[in-house]
Amino acid sequence: MKRNRRVKILATLGPASSDEAMIRKLFDAGADVFRINMSHTEHDAMRELVRRIRNVEASVGRPIGILADLQGPKLRVGKFKDGKVDLAPGDIITLDDNPEPGDATRVYLPHPDILESVRPGHRLLIDDGRLHLVALECDGRSIRCMVVAGTRISDKKGVSLPDTLLTSGALTDKDRRDLDAVLAENVDWLALSFIQRPEDLAEARKLSRGRVGLLSKIEKPQAVERLDEIIEMSDAIMVARGDLGVEMPLEQVPGIQKRITRAARRAGKPVVVATQMLESMITAPVPTRAEVSDVSIAVFEGADAVMLSAESAAGQYPVEAVATMDRIAVEVEKDPLYSGIIFAQRPTAEPTGADAVSLAARQIAETLKVAAIVTYTGSGASGLRMSRERPQIPILPLSPIESTVRRLSLGWGLHCIISEDAKDMEDMVDKACRLAVEHGFAQPGERIIVTAGVPLGTPGATNMIRIAYVGSDGAHAA
């Protein structure tokens, strides 16, 4: 199936979209990658979802990516004697290590690392910022706070810490169990929540041993401050605007989104824009005009993918939400301004042979108006380098490795194809021409560009460009 857009759509699965027939409908509507949220999915349910996605993949004959999203450290207060208490600005409440039910003066905080890390003047945002506290006194076992804004706190509400760098890592015991389970199912991407620093990726990197791509969700101010380092340690990035909008002033989020998107593009790492993109479609068959503009901005900015959360997982119109996002992306990419904006934001090529080849391939392709760029890749790095160039023509990465093409399904403009390794140079060019024709990207008489590493099969050694004519039989014309 050939998409008519370059940006990818990532759809979250859930109660509204967990059966195989619905997953197929979402794929047909435009979903390229499916997200499994491990915050709400038990291991058996996750395994069944993976099986259903792979069944759909087999039936459509196209690689489909799967992203497992780890919950991360969920910081919550304890319980109250009456389930909730009313507060007012200026009131004093203490968060402490006493597990007894709370009242209007204190509440249990079952996170020793918070009690040890918060300092006077730090903000504590409860229940997605509905209650705003500021720390007055801290002794390692309790935090005496003053209410700045908000009027109520109730059982098990979440705690956000925009000013505090926690000593604990990004993986909880639950995350480690979930990580083992999803690795056993050969998922393609692992999303890490509440990353604060590049070191937070080290444990996941060690445990996964290269079997899955690591996607860092940028949702904390501390992560924004060390953005370039986190991008360098990650395989992909997500602009997780939900928690980012809680921990940072809302008016700063659009600028941060652009900063993250451009930084990831410079690094050649896929970047996903997520959260509340078509939020009203949870309950309505059409989005608001503002939501359409929001999705359009992400596409204009050159994001690799845009994501649906509750819209496809629990909404009343999951297929319509995917189809709407697909239509928006297609129209944006047709806009006369689109190519100019994408071209203006192209990053400078890195001083490596592989990047020079990708840059040259894009320039030759656009000068000669070729039909497609076909790149042979083992690890997927060559495909992502070509995607980084944002060429105006389709990119067809070919790889014999199933996990590689599935992982590349997140990348901008990539139509990934599983193909056996070429035997020699002529076989390589013939395969490229035939597959470009079979998948609807080239016609006899047109030209394509082929990039590869010579000697063939050498990983990480893209060093060759070939201009090839497609013959009348679909193979290379000498």
Q: Which residues are catalytic?
A: 35, 76, 217, 275
**Eight-state DSSP code of residue 379:** S
As a whole number of angstroms, the distance between CA 120 and CA 316 comes to 45
**Separation between Cα atoms, residue 163 and residue 125, nearest integer Å:** 10
DSSP states of 42-62: -HHHHHHHHHHHHHHHHHHTS
Among 465, 239, 273, residue whose Cα is nearest residue 358 = 465
Residue with tokens 């925009």: 162
* Residue at token pair 């937070």: 200
For residues 67 and 191, the answer to whether their CB atoms sit within 8 Å is yes
Per-position DSSP letters for 295-325, written without gaps between them:
HHHHHHTT-SEEEESHHHHT-S-HHHHHHHH
Interacting residues of 61 by C-beta distance below 8 A, sequence separation 6+? 1
By three-state DSSP, how is residue 225 classified? helix
Token pair for 413: 């403009």
**440 Cβ partners below 8 Å, 6+ apart?**
2
